[in-house]
């Protein structure tokens, strides 16, 4: 991934003093595509999925705030530190996703009572949890790719403090899911990098930052 001194993040408002060159846009697009491919490869063992997502989020966090990507050494070190702590998060996420998928399938096929109303409610719950999970990933990125429990608590408070931002995150994840179904499987890893960047872009101006919430707890 290319590193550069000038602010290149377009996830937050940065006054560049002029229009961006098309080469900068192409470089950013290539960087995010590479990020998504690396994220997918690192998550292939499944138990490393949380570590991969957290490390990718930490890289995007650095990029959106400094304009440059972390070094390969820093990224590998973050991933190595995050693997074991991320195993419970990976297992929990897969378990919840599997249960929701099974519930939705049962409702859609009529194997359990409830009809369209229950199916709609379950789908909304699943979408809301996906949006919350997206914010957790962003919070983990701000914590250097780790601290899943603290990030989960901070994300929960942030969702309650800003329901509109939660809804926007849910929309990002829902759109990413729809595109995953529509695009060719080869493009799915690339989509992963853009999704992480979109989640950061939505949360970059969150009304109640996690740091502020943490200070409130100390009072």
Q: How many Å apart are CA 48 and CA 86, to the nearest integer?
A: 7
How does the average pLDDT of the chain come out, rounded? 82
From 65, 27, 105, 90, select the one nearest 201 (Cα to Cα).
65
Taking residue 191's Cβ as centre, other Cβ atoms within 10 Å add up to: 20
More confident residue, 43 or 219: 43
Angle between helical axes of 49-66 and 72-109 (0-180°, round to 10): 120
Q: Lowest mean pLDDT of 21-25, 125-129, 132-136, 153-157, name the range.
A: 21-25
Q: Lowest mean pLDDT of 84-88, 105-109, 125-129, 169-173, name the range.
A: 105-109
The structure's pTM equals 0.78
Each residue of 35-86: pLDDT tens digit? Answer: 999 999 999 998 999 999 999 999 999 998 888 899 999 999 999 999 999 9
Q: Lowest mean pLDDT of 24-33, 66-75, 123-132, 204-213, name the range.
A: 204-213
- SS3 for 190? helix
Q: How far is CA 208 from the centre of its chain?
A: 18
Q: How many Å apart are CA 164 and CA 167, to the nearest integer?
A: 5
Each residue of 9-19: pLDDT tens digit? Answer: 333 444 444 56
Q: How many Å apart are CA 10 and CA 211, to the nearest integer?
A: 23
Asked whether the predicted pLDDT for residue 98 surpasses 90, the reply is: yes
């Amino acid at each position: 991934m290319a590193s550069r001194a000038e602010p290149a993040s377009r996830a937050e408002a940065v006054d560049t003093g002029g229009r961006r060159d098309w080469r900068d846009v192409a470089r950013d697009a290539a960087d995010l595509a590479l990020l998504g491919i690396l994220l997918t490869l690192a998550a292939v063992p499944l138990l490393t999925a949380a570590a991969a997502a957290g490390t990718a989020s930490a890289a995007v966090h650095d990029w959106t705030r400094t304009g440059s990507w972390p070094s390969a050494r820093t990224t590998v070190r973050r991933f190595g530190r995050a693997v074991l702590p991320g195993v419970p998060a990976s297992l929990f996420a897969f378990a919840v996703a599997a249960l929701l998928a099974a519930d939705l399938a049962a409702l859609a096929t009529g194997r359990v009572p409830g009809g369209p109303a229950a199916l709609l409610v379950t789908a909304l719950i699943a979408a809301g949890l996906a949006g919350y999970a997206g914010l957790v990933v962003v919070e983990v990125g701000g914590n250097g790719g780790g601290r899943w429990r603290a990030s989960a608590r901070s994300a929960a408070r942030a969702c309650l403090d800003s329901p509109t931002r939660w809804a926007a995150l849910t929309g990002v994840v829902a759109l990413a899911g729809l595109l995953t179904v529509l695009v060719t499987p080869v493009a799915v890893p690339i989509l992963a990098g853009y999704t992480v960047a979109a989640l950061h872009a939505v949360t970059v101006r969150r009304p109640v930052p996690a740091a502020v919430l943490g200070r409130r707890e100390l009072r």
